[in-house]
Chains A and B, each alone.
Chain A
Amino acid sequence: MAPSGTVADPLPTSTNDSFNSGDTSENDIRPFFVLHKASSGSNLHGKLNGTVKSKRRIESPTPKIAKRSEVESVEEDGQFFSTLRLKVFETVWSKIEKTIADVLRNSNSKVFSGIYDWIRESFESIVSSGALRISEAVRSYPVLTQASSKQLLTAMVLTRNLEMVDDLLTFQELELQLKTQGCHVAKLSSMDFSAKTSVGGCLRGLLRQFVMPTIDVADVTILASWYRENKNHDNPVVIIVDDTERCCGSVLSDLILILSEWAVKVPIFLVMGVSTAHDAPRKILSVNALQRLCAIRFTLSSPAERMDAVLEAVFLRPCSGFTVSHKVAIFMRSYFLCQDGTLTSFVRTLKIACLQHFSSEPLSIMLEHFCQDGINQLSDKGTGLLTEATMKHAFHLPSVTRNKITRSTYEMLPQFLSDLQRMPNPWSIVILCIYEAGKYDKVRLLDIFCETLDPEARYLRYFSPSATANCQTHDSGRSCVIRRVLRKLRDLSPSQLSNMLKSWENLTADFSEINDKVMELHPFMRSVEAAGQRQGLPNSPKKHASRSISKHEKELKAMTDKVAVVIEFMLREYMKPVENVPFHEILCFKDVDKLQSALLGDPRGRIQSDLLESHNILHCVCCSKRGTNLLPSMHDTSILYTLAQEHADVINLHDWYQSFKTILVPRTSKAKPKSKSSSKSKKRKDICEEPEAPAEALIQARFCRAVMELQIAGLIRMPSKRRPDFVQRVAFGS
Chain B
Amino acid sequence: MPIEESPKVTRRSTRSSSSVTVENPEPSESHLPTVDDLTFGKESITLDAVLSIFPGRRSQIFDLIRLMGPLNCPTLPIMIYGGASTGKTSVVLQVLRHLNRPFVYSSCRTCYTPRILFESILNQLLLHRKCSSNGYSSAKRCDKPSDFVNLLREALSNVIESLESGSRTSRPNKSDGKPMGKMVYLILDNVDLIRDWDKGSMILQFLFSLHTVLKMPQLGIILISGLPPDVYYSNMGYTDPLPLYFPEYSEEDLRQIFLRNQANRKLYSAFLDVVLKPFCRVTRSVEELCTTFSSLFRKYCEPLDDLGISPNEDMKRRLYSNLKPLIASCLNEIFRVSSHPHDGDTRGERRQKASCSSENREELEILDFHMSTSAKYLLIAAFLASRNPATLDASMFDSTGGMDNRKRKRKASEKSMEKKEIAEQEAVMKGPGSFPLERLLAIFQCIASVGDSSFGEEEEAEDEDPTGYEKENSNLMSDILLQVSSLCDANFLIKSGSCPLEGSIRYRSMVSEDLALKAARSLNFPLSKYLYRR
Interface residues of A (CB under 8 A from B): 110-111, 114, 118, 129-130, 133-136, 138-151, 156, 158-164, 198-200, 211-212, 214-217, 219-222, 225-226, 229-230, 243, 245-246, 254, 257-258, 261-262, 264, 275-284, 287-288, 290-291, 293-299, 302-304, 327, 330-331, 334-341, 441-442, 447, 450-451, 475, 477-481, 592, 596, 600-602, 604-605, 711-712, 714, 717-718, 730, 732-733
Interface residues on B, range: 35 or more
- A291 vs B15: C-alpha distance in the bound complex, in angstroms? 27
Give the complex CA separation of A145 and B6 in angstroms: 8
For chain B residues 1-59, which have a beta carbon within 8 Å of chain A?
A: 1-2, 4-7, 9-12, 14-15, 26-27, 29, 31, 33, 37, 41
Closest 5 A/B residue pairs (Cβ): A141-B105, A147-B7, A341-B372, A147-B287, A602-B478
Contact A339 B371 (CB under 8 A): no
Q: Choose among A198, A339, A447, A714 the residue that contacts B479 (Cβ–Cβ < 8 A).
A: A339
Contact A290-B334, Cβ < 8 Å, known A146-B7, A217-B138, A451-B461: yes
Stretch from B68-76, B127-135, B272-280, B404-412 that touches the partner: B127-135
Contact of B461 among A139, A296, A478 (CB under 8 A): A478
**In the complex, which residues of chain B have a beta carbon less than 8 angstroms from the beta carbon of A215?**
136
Interface 1/0 per residue, B196-234 and A, CB below 8 Å: 000000000000000000000000000000000000000
CB distance from B284 to the nearest CB of A (A): 13
B478 touches A605 (CB 8 A): yes
Do residues B478 and A475 form an inter-chain contact, with CB atoms below 8 A? Answer: no
User: Can you name the residue of chain A whose Cβ is closest to the Cβ of B482?
Assistant: A340
How far does the alpha carbon of A160 sit from the alpha carbon of B2 in the complex, in Å? 34
Check: B338 CB closer than 8 A to any chain A CB: yes
B290 closest partner in A (C-beta): A147
How many angstroms between the C-alpha atoms of A158 and B14 in the bound complex? 40
A147 to B461, CA, bound (A): 57
CB-nearest residue of chain B to A284: B491
**Chain B: which residue is nearest A290 at the CB level?**
B335
Query: Does B434 make an interface contact (CB < 8 A)?
Result: no
**A730-B438 in contact given A114-B342, A299-B343 (Cβ < 8 Å):** yes
A600 to B10, CA, bound (A): 62
Distance, CA A451 to CA B344, complexed state (A) = 34
Residues from chain A with Cβ under 8 Å of B105 in the complex? 139-141
Given pairs A291-B334, A441-B360, 15 additional interface contacts (CB within 8 A)? A136-B41, A140-B124, A142-B5, A144-B94, A148-B294, A156-B337, A162-B370, A219-B120, A230-B132, A254-B112, A276-B369, A297-B337, A334-B472, A601-B479, A714-B503
Name the one of A158, A225, A277, A327 contacting B467, with C-beta atoms under 8 angstroms. A327
Inter-chain CA distance A211–B84, complex, in Å, is 33
Give 23 CB contacts A-B under 8 Å: A130-B15, A133-B26, A141-B93, A147-B7, A162-B371, A164-B486, A217-B115, A222-B130, A245-B491, A261-B2, A279-B335, A296-B340, A297-B340, A334-B460, A338-B372, A338-B374, A338-B472, A341-B372, A451-B461, A605-B477, A605-B478, A717-B503, A732-B442
- Give bound CA distance, A340 to B479, whole Å: 8
Instruction: Tell me which of B136, B373, B442, B467 contacts A222 (CB under 8 A).
Output: B136
Q: Nearest Cβ distance between residue A1 and chain B, in whole angstroms? A: 17
Let me know if A134 and B2 touch, CB within 8 A.
no
Q: Give per-residue flags for B364-377: 1 if the beta carbon is below 8 A from chain A beta carbons, else 0.
A: 01001111111100
| Distance between Cα atoms of A18 and B346 in the complex (Å) | 50
Question: Which residues of chain B (313-345) have a CB below 8 Å from chain A?
Answer: 334-340, 342-344
Are the C-beta atoms of B4 and A147 separated by less than 8 Å? Answer: yes
Q: Mark B504-517, 1 if CB is under 8 A from A, else 0.
A: 00000010000100
In the complex, are the beta carbons of A287 and B290 less than 8 A apart? no
How near does chain A come to B332, taking the closest CB pair, in angstroms?
12
Q: Is the CB of B490 within 8 A of A147?
A: no
Q: How far is the CA of A297 from the CA of B132 in the complex (A)?
A: 36
Q: Cβ of B37: which chain A residues have Cβ within 8 Å of it?
A: 135
**What residues on B are CB-neighbors of A480 within 8 Å?**
461
- Convert B88-107 into 0s and 1s, putting 1 for each residue whose CB lies closer than 8 angstroms to a CB of A: 01100110000000001111
Determine whether the beta carbon of B89 is less than 8 Å from that of A295.
no
Residues of A within 8 A of B112 (CB): 198-200, 254, 258
Q: Would A296 and B472 count as touching, CB distance under 8 A?
A: no
Give the residues from 466 to 494 in chain B that come closer than 8 angstroms, CB to CB, to chain A. 467-468, 471-472, 475-479, 481-482, 486-487, 489-492
Distance between Cα atoms of A576 and B510 in the complex (Å) = 50
- Do A261 and B107 touch (CB < 8 A)? yes
Interface presence of B110 (CB below 8 A): yes
A144, B93: Cβ atoms closer than 8 Å: yes
Quick one: which of B4, B9, B41, B137 contacts A139, CB cutoff 8 A?
A: B41
B101 to chain A, nearest CB (A): 14
State whether A229 touches B110 (Cβ < 8 A). no
Q: Are A337 and B461 in contact (CB under 8 A)?
A: no
Report whether A135 and B343 are in contact in the complex, using a CB–CB cutoff of 8 Å: no
Q: Which residues of A contact B340 (CB under 8 A)?
A: 114, 118, 296-298
A291 to B463, CA, bound (A): 50
Q: Taking A275-B369, A339-B475 as contacts, is the C-beta distance between A717 and B502 under 8 angstroms?
A: yes
Inter-chain CA distance A296–B343, complex, in Å, is 10
A288–B2 touching, CB < 8 Å: yes
Tell me if B269 is interfacial: C-beta within 8 Å of chain A.
no
Which residues of chain A come closer than 8 Å to B120, judged between CB atoms? 140, 219, 221
Q: Are B12 and A130 in touch, CB under 8 angstroms?
A: yes
Is A225 within 8 A of B131, CB to CB?
A: yes
Instruction: Give B129-153 as 1s and 0s: 1 = Cβ < 8 Å from A's Cβ atoms.
Output: 1111001111000000000000000
Contact A145 B468 (CB under 8 A): no
B352-384 with Cβ < 8 A to chain A: 353, 357, 360, 362, 365, 368-375
B119 within 8 A of A: yes
Q: When the two chains form their complex, are residues B343 and A297 in contact, meaning their CB atoms are under 8 A apart?
A: yes
Contact pick for A142, options B33, B89, B115, B481, CB 8 Å: B89
Residue of A nearest to B441 (CB): A732
Q: Are A261 and B471 also in contact (CB < 8 A) when A135-B33, A145-B10 are?
A: no
Say yes or no: B347 contacts A299, CB within 8 Å.
yes
Chain B residues contacting A327 (CB-CB under 8 Å) are 467-468
Are A141 and B286 in contact, CB atoms less than 8 angstroms apart?
Answer: no
Q: Which residues of B are found within 8 Å of A291, using beta-carbon distances?
A: 287-288, 291, 334-335
Give Cα A28–Cα B41 distance, bound, in whole angstroms. 89
Nearest-CB distance from A170 to chain B (Å)? Answer: 14
Q: Bound state CA distance, A353 and B349, in angstroms?
A: 38
Cα distance, A117 to B380, chains bound together (Å): 40
Instruction: Tell whether B457 is near chain A: CB-to-CB under 8 Å.
Output: yes
Q: Which residues of B contact A278 (CB under 8 A)?
A: 337
| B459 within 8 A of partner (CB) | yes
8 Å CB contact of A732 from B5, B115, B438 = B438
B189's nearest neighbour on chain A, judged by CB, is A141
How many Å lie between the Cα of A297 and that of B4 in the bound state? 27
The answer on a CB contact under 8 Å between A331 and B468 is yes
| Chain B neighbourhood of A217, CB < 8 A | 113, 115-116, 119, 138
Residue B109 CB within 8 A of the other chain: yes
**Partner of B291 from A148, A161, A199, A257 at Cβ < 8 Å:** A148
* Chain B residue with Cβ nearest A134: B27
Residue of B nearest to A336 (CB): B372
B269 vs chain A, min Cβ distance (A): 19
Contact B27 A133 (CB under 8 A): yes
Q: Give A604 to B111 CA distance when docked, in angstroms.
A: 49
Q: Is B253 an interface residue (CB 8 A)?
A: no
Contact across chains for A479 and B461 when beta carbons are under 8 A apart: yes
Q: Are A283 and B501 in contact (CB under 8 A)?
A: no
Partner of A147 from the list B15, B291, B370 (CB cut-off 8 Å) is: B291
Q: Among the interface residues B31, B110, B336, B442, which one has the most CB atoms of the partner chain A within 10 A?
A: B110
| Bound form: Cα–Cα A281–B124 in Å | 37
CB-based contact A281/B372 at 8 Å: no
User: How far in angstroms is the closest Cβ of chain B from A687?
Assistant: 31
Residues of B within 8 A of A145 (CB): 7, 9-11
**Across the interface, do B471 and A596 meet the contact criterion of CB distance under 8 Å?**
yes
Is there contact, CB below 8 Å, between B372 and A475? no
Q: How far is the CA of A199 from the CA of B37 in the complex (A)?
A: 30
Q: Is the CB of A211 within 8 A of B136?
A: yes
Q: Residues of B contacting A331 with CB < 8 Å?
A: 468
